Amino acid sequence: MKTDVATLIPAEVDVFDEPDIVAAEPPPAIAPRRRSLLGSIFFGAFGVLVSLAVGLWTDQLIRDLFARAEWLGWLAAGMAAIAVLALLVILIREFLAIARLAEVVKLQKRALDAIARDDPKAARSVVDELSAFVAAKPETAAGRRALAELRGEIIDGGNLVRLAETEILGPLDARAKVMILEAAKRVSLVTAVSPRALVDVAYVVFEAGRLIRRLSELYGGRPGTLGFFRLARNVLAHLAVTGSIAVGDSFVQQIVGHGLAARLSAKLGEGVVNGMMTARIGIAAMETTRPLPFSAAKRPGLGDFLSALTSFATRKDAETTPSGK
C-alpha cells in the first residue's frame, strides 16, 4: 500500500519576533585593532628613506654653495643647523605631548581598576597622579586642597577616587559643558545660514577639531600637531566603539517632544541637528581627554544640550522671521 509523504516546510522566522533576541543585551563593543607590525615597519623605513634623501640633498646644496662662494656655504650650513635644532625641539615637544595623552589613558585605566578592586593604595596613587596632572589648572586648586585635607579620613579606595573626581574635575567638567554648548550653537547658526552643504561640512569639521583641542587643553592634555591627530583618531574610535556616531532614535524622540519641527524653519532645524552632532563629538572628546572616567559624576548626554540649543535656535528663528508672518 502506497502512502503519501508529507513535506514539512519550515515557516519563515523573523528574528525580531523572538523575545529572547529582542530583550537580550547588546554584545560588548570591540575596540579597534592596533596597526599591524608590518605597516609600522613600512612607515618607519619609508620615513628613514625620506630623511636620508633630504639629508643628501642638503649636503649637496651646501657643497655647491661653498663652491660658488664660501660665505654662501657657511650661511647655508648655519641655516641647516638652525633647521635641525628647531626640528629636534619640535620632535621633543610632540613626543612629550603624545606621552601626556598616553598618560591620560593609563590614568583612566588605573582609576577603573582602583574602583573595581576598592584598593586604597592604588586609589591614593591615582589621586596623586591626577593632582600632579592638573596642577597647572587654577580651577582645581580648591578641590586639590580640600582633597588633601580629607584624604586621611577616607578608607575606601573607590570613594577616594570618586571624591577626587567631583572635587578636582568638577569645575573643569562644568567648563567643558559650556565649551561644548558654545561650539554646538556656533555650528547650528553657521550651518543654518550657509548656502552650500560643503560649507556646512567644512565648518563642522573645523569646529569639531577646535573643540577637541580645547577640551584636551582644558583637562591638561596640551596636544601638539601629531598629538592632535592621534587624539582626533581616538575620539572617532570612541564614537565608533560606542556606536554613537549617528543620531539615534532617542534624539529624534527628543526633537519631536520639544516640537522642534513645528517651531523652526527647515534650515534652522538642520542647523540644530548639526549642532547636536557637534555636541556628540564634544561628549566623546570629553570622555577621551578626561583624566578620570565618569563614576561619581553623571556623564553628559545629548539631552543636556538639546533644551539650550533649541531655545537658542528658536530665538534666532524669531529674530530672522519678519513680524506678522
Give the model confidence (pLDDT) of 130-148 as tens digits.
888 888 888 888 888 888 8
pLDDT higher than 60, residue 118:
yes
The pLDDT of residue 308 is: 78
Q: List Cα–Cα distances, 210 to 171, 207, 215, 229, 282, in angstroms.
A: 21, 5, 9, 12, 10
CB 317, CB 268: distance < 8 Å = yes
Greater confidence, 119 or 29?
A: 119
Question: In which band, very low, low, confident or very high, does the pLDDT at 29 lie, cut at 50, 70 and 90?
Answer: very low
Rounded CA separation 234/129 (Å): 22
Question: In which band, very low, low, confident or very high, does the pLDDT at 3 lie, cut at 50, 70 and 90?
Answer: low
Q: Which three cell numbers stand for residue 74?
A: 657657511
Greater confidence, 90 or 226?
A: 90
36-48 mean pLDDT: 85
The pLDDT of residue 117 is: 87
Residue 201 identity: V
pLDDT digits (tens, 9 = 90+) for 271-283: 778 888 888 888 8
CB 138, CB 171: distance < 8 Å = no
Of 225, 25, 221, 41, the residue nearest 136 (C-alpha): 221
pLDDT digits (tens, 9 = 90+) for 243-273: 544 444 455 445 545 555 445 555 666 777 8
The pLDDT of residue 259 is: 52
The pLDDT of residue 275 is: 84
The C-alpha angle 115, 162, 135, rounded to 5 degrees, equals 110
The sign one gets for the Cα dihedral 82, 87, 92, 94 is positive
Question: In which band, very low, low, confident or very high, does the pLDDT at 49 lie, cut at 50, 70 and 90?
Answer: very high
Domain boundaries, the chain: 69-320
For the chain, the average pLDDT equals 78
Rounded CA separation 84/78 (Å): 10
pLDDT higher than 60, residue 32:
no
97-104 mean pLDDT: 86
The pLDDT of residue 14 is: 45
pLDDT higher than 60, residue 302:
yes
pLDDT digits (tens, 9 = 90+) for 147-194: 888 777 766 778 888 888 888 898 999 999 999 999 988 888 887 777
Residue 323 identity: S
For the whole prediction, is pTM greater than 0.75?
Answer: no
Question: In which band, very low, low, confident or very high, does the pLDDT at 85 lie, cut at 50, 70 and 90?
Answer: very high
